[in-house]
Amino acid sequence: MEQKGSALGLLPIGAFLLIFIGGGIFFHDFYAVPAIAVFLIALLIAFLQKPKMPLAHKLSAVTKSMGEENVMVMCLIFILAGAFSGAASAAGGVSSTVNFGLSILPPHVAVAGLFVIGCFISLSMGTSVGTIVALTPIAVELSQKTGMIPGICVGAVVCGAMFGDNLSMISDTTIAATRSQGCHMKDKFRENIRIVWPAAVLTLILFLAFAGGGNAAIEKLDYNFWQILPYLAVLGGALAGMNVFAVLGTGTVLSIAVGLGTGTIAFSEIFTVIATGPDGKSGIAGMYEITAISLLVAGIIGIVKENGGIAWLMQAVRKRVKSRKGAQMGIALLSSAVDISTANNTVAIVMAAPIVKDIAQEYEIPPKRTAALMDIFTSVCQGLLPYGAQVLYACAGAAAVGLTPFQLTPYLFYPILMGICALLYILFEKEKK
């Protein structure tokens, strides 16, 4: 018997969006109100609903949803990804990768080169913000030396960062999307790259066309190829289809070995860099919040489902969606709307995932497709939001040239083209019988 839907069951999610968005508007800063605190309020509201339902029953619904296998595996992968990121950064991998790329680039393609380097670093590191922080100062220096518009130089960095954020095997968005939909990372990668590669090629052409006239020489930069090796190993292992735990474990051990060998990591710092990274804030510690949020969201979805909220939403979607293409457009719209509301693409995927999975099962959409669509459309919005972390970090790094989010937006070619390619793919792909 189908569960009776109730719009009131969605009240906790609505309360989260209202408080989070309202707080961002009131304080003129969407990061002034911590998402994790608002999720706790949403969970409390969920508990207060249906007072006649026993508290033990509500707790059971929450904890069962939190303890679901995919949620637990996702949290473990977050922790391992943090360990690798902290160790690889401490070993000097980021600076060596950036310097290596810039050292082999002809000056007249430097801006397009920044896009390519950003793609590689974000694909290897799995973090768009880390890529932006590493490359933005170089983009600003390039702008000042060549006289090119700062927005186009920094825009190349953000575009490259969003490429890897969407596709990387160790990106938290990929982890959340694949685990929640129940598909392999390599399958999601193949589906995802099939959709977005034209956007990447067109973006590269646009940067070559609009910023191909720079002629300032880039000074000699120091790099150590051994420090780049852990990223190459992780990227290669992931693409080869190795188990993600084996990939991240191998990458972490290799990063520590390289760090010890090159002297960038002292023996006494081995466990410190894994736990907190070279800056004391990254590493495993940098994954604490998203891990806690994932558990809270899973718990909220469990009680929302128990209260009939998910059933009501599914019934509403069924009334409006009449085809498989329509269902995919609905997934795109839902993912985009949640990301615009939360300004965090990983949180948006975690929130939308249970609903998307139900829609996919109803219309027989493969898990690899739904995982790719969620990741693509949340990345499209996240790469363009003027109040999103990526754009804000980029503008903060370019404060010396007074870059604002609205001066940067016109040069964010990749997120725009990625969205267009995905929409065209949904609309014109031939249905397989």
Residue owning tokens 């979805």? 301
In the prediction, which pLDDT does 239 show? 63
Whether the CB-CB separation of 345 and 415 falls below 8 Å is answered with no
Alpha-carbon separation of residue 257 from 8, 189, 253, 270, 345 (angstroms): 54, 29, 6, 10, 33
In the prediction, which pLDDT does 200 show? 95
Query: Cα–Cα distance between 244 and 131 in angstroms, integer?
Result: 21
In the prediction, which pLDDT does 238 show? 64
- HSE, side-chain direction, 13 A CA sphere, residue 34: 8
In the prediction, which pLDDT does 242 show? 73
Which residues in the chain come in under a pLDDT of 70? 1-3, 30-31, 70, 98, 101-102, 105, 107, 145-146, 212-221, 235, 238-239, 241, 318, 341, 431-433
Whether the CB-CB separation of 70 and 177 falls below 8 Å is answered with no
Q: Tell how far CA 322 is from the center of its chain.
A: 30
Structure-token pair, residue 365: 């959409």
Secondary structure, 3-state, 110-126: HHHHHHHHHHHHHHHHC
Short-list 346, 319, 324, 320, CA closest to 335? 346
In the prediction, which pLDDT does 212 show? 62
- In this structure, the number of other CB atoms found within 10 A of the CB of residue 275 comes to 17
In the prediction, which pLDDT does 201 show? 96
Short-list 358, 357, 380, CA closest to 370? 357
Which residues in 162-197 are b (16+ Cβ under 10 Å) and which e?
A: bbbbbbbbbbbbbbbbbbbbebebbbbbebbeebbe
In the prediction, which pLDDT does 278 show? 86
In the prediction, which pLDDT does 30 show? 67
Residue range 114-160, pLDDT digits in tens: 898 889 888 877 778 777 877 787 788 778 766 788 899 999 999 99
Q: Tell how far CA 133 is from the center of its chain.
A: 15
- Tell me the three state secondary structure of residue 396: helix
Question: Looking at this protein, which amino acid is placed at residue 405?
Answer: P
Whether the CB-CB separation of 334 and 278 falls below 8 Å is answered with no
Query: Cα–Cα distance between 357 and 246 in angstroms, integer?
Result: 27
Phi–psi pair at 277, nearest 5 degrees:
75, 180
pTM (2 d.p.):
0.72
Residue owning tokens 């949620």? 71
Query: Cα–Cα distance between 20 and 36 in angstroms, integer?
Result: 10
In the prediction, which pLDDT does 232 show? 80
Query: Cα–Cα distance between 82 and 286 in angstroms, integer?
Result: 7
- In this structure, the number of other CB atoms found within 10 A of the CB of residue 6 comes to 17
Query: Cα–Cα distance between 11 and 17 in angstroms, integer?
Result: 10
- In this structure, the number of other CB atoms found within 10 A of the CB of residue 399 comes to 10
Short-list 140, 100, 138, 92, CA closest to 120? 100
Q: Tell how far CA 227 is from the center of its chain.
A: 24
Short-list 201, 220, 203, CA closest to 211? 203
Query: Cα–Cα distance between 310 and 9 in angstroms, integer?
Result: 8
